[in-house]
Structure 1
Amino acid sequence: MNISFIGAGNVASSLGSLFTNAGHTVKYGTQNPNDSQLPVVDAISFGEVVCFAIPFSAMHDVLTANKEALKGKIVVDITNAINISDWSPLFLGEDSGGEQTARLLPESKVVKAFNTIFADVMKEDKQLFDGQKLTAFIASDDTEASATIKKLADDAGFNGFIVGGIKNSRNLEAIAQLNIAIAFGGGGTDAGFTYFQRKN
């Protein structure tokens, strides 16, 4: 599958490497591309799946500017609403970044995913904890897009877990904020969440 990342920071490069190792083709788009990157619009054109790993504060303008190019695409929102200066949460009330992305892109297939996983554990040698895979929670109103991203999560070495509609972005973003709070409280970023579900 052709996968694009808008952004080329730690999350994009780490998750992108996992996708590449799983046999997918990954390209990166940035506002000021270097030799190995593409302009944003070209990266969007390339990707069947377009993952946004940029600061939350930039999402509105970037999505609005590229709304037409993103029509029909699976758009994965990996962002979290935080203050970049100190990683403190931006409280969105009864809303979420994922829902905002979905409203801005009504003709795209918006998925919230991977935002609960630190870049530090998006590494092949750090994904297992006592033999257990980290959970990649997935929220979307599009069931086919959810299934596609679950497969990508599984391909990348996580346990993809679909939690329902895009409204559940609120819960996923809260999980991410908890993860950050634990990390900054001394827990560090070599950590993550695993969801256990008894099947019988």
Structure 2
Amino acid sequence: MKHISVVGYGSVGQKLAKLFNDAGRNVTVCSKDASRGAEHYPTATFIEGIQSADAIVLAIPYGAIQTLIESLADELNGKTIIDCCNPLNEDWSPLLLGQETSAAEQIAALAPQAKVVKAFNTIFADVMAREHHDRKGHTITAFISGDDKTSKHGVMSLASDCGFSALDAGPLKSARYLEAMAHLNIEIAVAQGGGTNAAFVYHQA
């Protein structure tokens, strides 16, 4: 997993692109505005970025994913898709999908020949930097789920190289729980005023 295309260059896309670049990966940025990210990384159209990448990171709002995937489904055949989005309304409140699906599973249904891995969605952009990864002696956990073991283990290695503690969270359907964790994280940070300088740490006694 050497060549990574980051689709979207908002706060999450920017932080992940830097982490991946610092971890020795070749990063390409794909966004509607081709100039975004050009001062730091090569840029490309969505199709160009997908064709050249070993893995594609979706760092765009949930509401934009279906249209994008449907327009690029053939190009995504055989590719690893790293889904770090969460189903949210514009005010960050949870967009509940029920107990039988998740954003990641919906992506897998839209691109059935791709290998979808859920990762990084439980981590706020504000702590996606190495100086924030140590939480009082414990490292931020990156929970990672997926059905394709090779792709999942590749993303786990990527997360570890970025300074996170990578944890195998099981099959792709576990994305339902990871997205719920993200909703809880946002509830505590925003609605309860806890702030976004916080993260989950899975600590085995």
Q: Report the AA paired with residue 32 of structure 2.
A: Q
The alignment of Structure 1 onto Structure 2 pairs a total of residues equal to 197
Runs of 4+ in structure 1 off by over 3 angstroms are none
Alignment RMSD (CA, Å): 1.0
| 2:73 aligns with one of 50, 53, 67 | 67
Q: TM-score, normalised by structure 2?
A: 0.94
| Separation in 2, partners of 1:12, 1:28 | 8
Partner of 1:173: 179
Give the structure 2 partner of residue 96 of structure 1.
Answer: 102
Partner Cα separation in structure 2 for residue 32 and residue 10 of structure 1: 15
What corresponds to 1:192 in structure 2? 199
The answer to whether structure 1 residue 129 and structure 2 residue 130 are counterparts is no
SS at match of 1:68: helix
Unaligned runs of 5+ in 1: none
- Name the SS for the 2:185 alignment partner: helix
Unaligned 5+ segments in structure 2 are: none
Paired with 2:68 and 2:173, the residues of 1 have a C-alpha distance of 22
Displacement of 1:132 in angstroms is 1.0
1:33 correspondence with 2:38: no
Shift of 1:31: 2.0
Counterpart in 1 of 2:151? 145
Please tell me the residue identity of whatever aligns with 1:104. L
Q: Distance in 2 between matches of 1:172 and 1:158?
A: 16
Q: Which amino acid aligns with 1:168?
A: S
Partner deviation per Cα, 1:5-24 (whole Å, 9 max, x = no partner) = 11011111101101111111
Deviation of the 1:197 alpha carbon: 2.1
Question: For residues 73-92 of structure 1, what are the structure 2 equivalents within 5 Å?
Answer: 73-84=79-90, 86-92=91-97
Identity %: 42
Contact 1:32 / 1:39 at 8 angstroms: preserved in 2? no
What's the offset of the Cα at 1:87? 0.2
TM-score normalised per structure 1 = 0.96
Q: Secondary structure at the match of 2:160?
A: helix
